Structure 1
């Protein structure tokens, strides 16, 4: 259990962090880099690294592997699940808050990538503590057990919530996204609706408005747009539409011939994009082989949404009531069964 003074400090830290770091709902953008990074390595050990050979008999992360809810999940060669994590981590930090979670079901056989964004305030179970917000799990676990265990516990919480085994994780932050977009020379982003920046990361951008349609954007503006929430229809769910638009823009730009030649340099700069990952170079090579010559992001990337309701609930970790998001259980189970199971 968390002691009283520790709980008080944690609440204070959470509030301060939320004010400074309400960003990174767009973590799924990291997938665009992961999907194409492997193409830089050519056809090294081609047959061994073909997705149907490489992505088989995969290990799952954390204690969720023993979850009885996962027993009916059938593994299939060439298919895997990855959790993209957006955090408020700064350089040198050993602890951070989860600000975004995106679960991806990648089917390299059929070239489909189903994605589900999970709100940061989603009510989840944290072993040893009870029910709390998803954003709290990684922070408290890292404080108590170290950086890596914090990520593992966050992955476990999502796996238990969805009933999906998770094989890989990749964590990025605000600067990773900005650097990646600038490294490929900016992107085109098709905005589905009007966006006004109401709580920009950089003060100079507050109040800027973007009309619906296609815009040429640099890394800073992509990061700002995917951070916006309050001016959007559906708030968090509107933000998810902006995440999808940014991901498609990045993926399309990376696959242009002029940028394919830059992939080796981008691959060597992986640490600038990602805070942490358990994906190896071979994993990325195999992914690259899977998408090479048959990657059409607008048709293959599908963003799924599960509605939730806000409710004031007791937080077992903080020992107090707070606002949490309760995902619709029936809709969640139906979405997982249809799009995230083999």
Structure 2
């Protein structure tokens, strides 16, 4: 009987061993399956997030702020932004447009075109008559309020240039100064001597900034880009100063050394922008597109358009003043070549 008991014990031990050996692969298979499911979920979630932010898909089938330009075809991965610098002061609800930059971004080709639009360009406002571009914002803000007035002004400029504008950004003196200070100042290559004849601060009156590279903070950069009377070509000279400041800001932000400053800069955009229709997702998508291979010197192209200065009647101001009449054929050619593909 003892031998039979030993045999039964051996059979039980063998049976348990077989059961353990049978369960082990099933356990490994279950872990592997779970791991694969987790990977699929992560991949799917990551893919959905990437599709949400992917610049090429995100910036496709965009709407124009103006219905009159909504039928103009835009390539996928491209968009146009109107950047407005206004003379709006603290606690004001309206202002005149001090500067305008039309920016075309092609995220596939990593090419960015920037057109300076003279603020004294002559424009027709429906139902109101002829005036300067600089007055459009003020007129619409007085009629519709600060936010809606800016949107109406952007619509008018989109129709005037016959170009789809997808986004707009408005900043003022305080916003621009805060932007430069947020990146701890910039290196600005001033193209010519600048005498401050109309500064924001009285202590800067008649101060001269010599031609060449300067390390500047927000206060002085803003004083310089505001100047027009002492610079060659007045408005066109001011545009060159704005271009130099923009290059300085872009170079500072795109420098890998300053990458840690970008989150703080993005999170405080409300300090810099008076009005915009660009949301955080748009900004993240732009950041994904330019984060690793941005070279301002090679990829950003600046354009200017020269017009004729004429003494013309302004229906809004009800007087004759000097306005710039832009050449329609040249403007149409620039828009077609550099802002729609």
Q: If the TM-score is normalised by the length of the shorter chain, which range does it land in?
A: 0.7 to 0.9
Distance 2:266 2:251 in 1: 17
Q: 2:67 matched to which residue of 1?
A: 65
Q: TM-score, normalised by structure 2?
A: 0.82
Q: 1:215 to 1:318 in 2, by over 3 A?
A: closer
* Aligned residue among 7, 28, 49 for 2:53: 49
Distance 2:80 2:164 in 1: 7
Distance 2:63 2:338 in 1: 21
Deviation at 1:81, TM superposition (A): 0.6
Partners of 1:134 and 1:157 within 8 A in 2: no
Q: 1:11 matched to which residue of 2?
A: none
Deviation at 1:44, TM superposition (A): 9.3
The reply to whether residue 114 of structure 1 matches residue 116 of structure 2 is no
Distance 2:162 2:315 in 1: 22
Partners of 1:104 and 1:114 within 8 A in 2: yes
Partners of 1:89 and 1:96 within 8 A in 2: yes
In structure 1, list runs of 5 or more residues that go unmatched.
Answer: 1-42
Q: 1:305 to 1:46 in 2, by over 3 A?
A: same
Partners of 1:190 and 1:215 within 8 A in 2: yes
Distance 2:89 2:205 in 1: 22
Instruction: Indicate the structure with greater helix content.
Output: 2
Distance 2:75 2:229 in 1: 40
Worse overlay, 73-82 or 256-265: 256-265
Equivalent residue pairs, number: 296
Distance 1:44 1:235 in 2: 50
How well do the aligned residues superpose, as a CA RMSD in angstroms?
2.0
DSSP-derived class of the 1:293 partner: coil
Q: How does 1:247-326 map to 2 (within 5 A)?
A: 247-326=246-325
Deviation at 1:47, TM superposition (A): 3.1
DSSP-derived class of the 2:75 partner: coil
Deviation at 1:105, TM superposition (A): 0.9
In structure 2, list runs of 5 or more residues that go unmatched.
Answer: 1-46
Q: 1:9 matched to which residue of 2?
A: none
Q: 1:27 matched to which residue of 2?
A: none
Deviation at 1:274, TM superposition (A): 0.5
DSSP-derived class of the 1:207 partner: coil
Q: Deviations over 1:257-306 (max 9, x none)?
A: 34211222222211111101000100000000010101111211111011
DSSP-derived class of the 1:313 partner: strand
Q: Deviations over 1:33-56 (max 9, x none)?
A: xxxxxxxxxx99223211111001
Partners of 1:186 and 1:217 within 8 A in 2: yes
Worse overlay, 240-249 or 276-285: 240-249
DSSP-derived class of the 2:189 partner: strand
Q: 1:238 to 1:319 in 2, by over 3 A?
A: closer
The reply to whether residue 245 of structure 1 matches residue 247 of structure 2 is no
Q: Deviations over 1:68-103 (max 9, x none)?
A: xx64x3211110011111112234332222222111
Q: 1:93 to 1:231 in 2, by over 3 A?
A: closer
Q: 2:154 matched to which residue of 1?
A: 155
Partners of 1:78 and 1:109 within 8 A in 2: yes
Q: TM-score, normalised by structure 1?
A: 0.81
Distance 1:144 1:307 in 2: 31
Q: 1:338 matched to which residue of 2?
A: 337
Structure possessing the higher relative contact order (Cα contacts under 8 Å, 6 or more residues apart): 1
Worse overlay, 276-285 or 200-209: 200-209
Partners of 2:121 and 2:323 within 8 A in 1: yes
